[in-house]
A and B are shown apart, each in its own frame.
Chain A
Amino acid sequence: MEQVIIPRNTSDLIEAQFEVLYNVFKDKSRDEDLEFDLSQIQWVHPLVILPISAYINDTHSKYILESCKISTYLDAMKFPQGVDSIDLFRQAIISGRSYIPITVFRKATGVFREKLEAMFQEKIAEMLGAIKETESAITYPISELVTNIFEHSKKDIGFICAQIYRNKNYLDICIVDRGRGITKAYEEEKKLQLSDEDALRAAMRGESTKPNLESERGFGIQTSKNIICEALEGQFILISGAAGLLIRKGKENLIPLPEFYWQGTIVAFRITKPLGPIDIYKFLH
């Protein structure tokens, strides 16, 4: 089993987290069983810890926490198994803390999944101190991106977590699945043979993978990105297969990821506390 040493953070920039994630999974075979060595890390962001958690849950991979300076934090985050019930979520949430632990949504739990997701959403709004007129700007992207897991990924499990950095005035959220990925969704539903890069472009242009013309059009991810980046002045990362998108400060970058492959989809975003009412409906078509 190959050992992967998770490197120390060099920066809080979202690009730096992207770099860590890329280096963790670079040059690995798909679904290879790995041993993640977290002993050297002194901090970890959602964009790194959540995909590792999802990967461990999905494979027979292991992890090492010996001498890890943040083992207490990782334990509080319920790394790597996460919490998947309302009771476990309530037990793991401690008032005033700066994180929401790794939360696992399982399709089979039906209405309890809906309640768990609502609790997660409400906790996010509380952590941000969001006023009532801004909550929909936070709720919409999370709802759409989690829904995408169960409507598109062909996987019955999704992962989410969050961390607020009060001194820096931003909140990081990451949403991960280990499903078929965006490229495969277009191939299987629309019979389109796209590269991973073209699949991300298509998704961001709102080209639906839904086979039924009566179904809602595929604007969820594109609208979510617009709300995050424009209404919330945030930063947005989308990774699926061997391609990624990084959108921040008005710049949209498409990044081919050689020698890297993520089975499924990773979405991560960084937002600050909204300062005034936000009308998300002007972003919806």
Chain B
Amino acid sequence: MNQNNSTILKMVDLLAPILSSRDVITDVIKIALKHTNTRLVFLDFIDVKFISRSVAHELLMIQNQFEHTIFQKKEIRFINMNEDVRKMFAIVKDSKTHSEHTKIEFNPKKIDIDSLLSKI
């Protein structure tokens, strides 16, 4: 939809109500953005229930790329996000800011298969 000097891209129509796949986002959204002829583009998340971390990260990268490119520069804004979508973007933005690796402990107990199966 193109209203005056902006375009609205409805994510649920372009994609699905649950957005999981980075590669699909890259393919579909970048092409859709390149076909818009306005400087300002709204990515409308109405009826989108959830986005994965990968998708949130990819969309933020796309937003950044289009804002800093010389040709086809665009301002991309995210609108009508539900709480889950908004929180996922916040999480990803926060992890980009605090990019130091947090060490996670994982020390499972090693058990041989025969011991495990003998307990069944």
Residues of A within 8 A of B (CB): 10-11, 13, 15-16, 18-19, 22, 107, 110-111, 113-115, 117-118, 121-122, 135-136, 139-140, 142-144, 146-147, 150-151, 197, 201, 204-206, 214-217, 219-220, 222, 245-247, 251-258, 281, 284-285
**Closest chain A residue to B114 by CB distance?**
A258
Q: Given A254-B109, A285-B95, decide whether A139 and B53 contact each other with a Cβ distance below 8 A.
A: no
From residue 1 to 50 of chain B, which have CB atoms closer than 8 A to chain A? 14-24, 27-28, 49-50
Do A22 and B113 contact each other (CB < 8 Å), given the known contacts A143-B20, A151-B22, A205-B105?
yes
CB <8 Å contact, A114 and B110: no
Closest-by-CB residue of A relative to B54 is A147
B24–A114 touching, CB < 8 Å: yes
B62 is an interface residue with CB less than 8 A from chain A: no
Chain A residues with CB under 8 A of B17: 118, 122
Q: Hey, which chain A residues are within 8 Å of B14, CB to CB?
A: 111
Can you name the residue of chain A whose Cβ is closest to the Cβ of B51?
A143
Interface size classification for chain B? 35 or more
Closest to B18 in A: A118
Q: A110 to chain B: which residues have CB within 8 Å?
A: 24, 27-28
Can you list 11 pairs linking A and B with CB atoms under 8 Å apart? Answer: A11-B120, A110-B27, A114-B15, A114-B20, A121-B18, A147-B22, A147-B52, A252-B108, A254-B109, A257-B113, A284-B53
Inter-chain CA distance A16–B110, complex, in Å, is: 18
B117 in contact with A118 (CB, 8 Å):
no
A10-B120, A114-B20 are contacts. A139–B15 as well, Cβ < 8 Å?
Answer: no
Complex contacts, B24 vs chain A, CB 8 Å: 110-111, 113-114
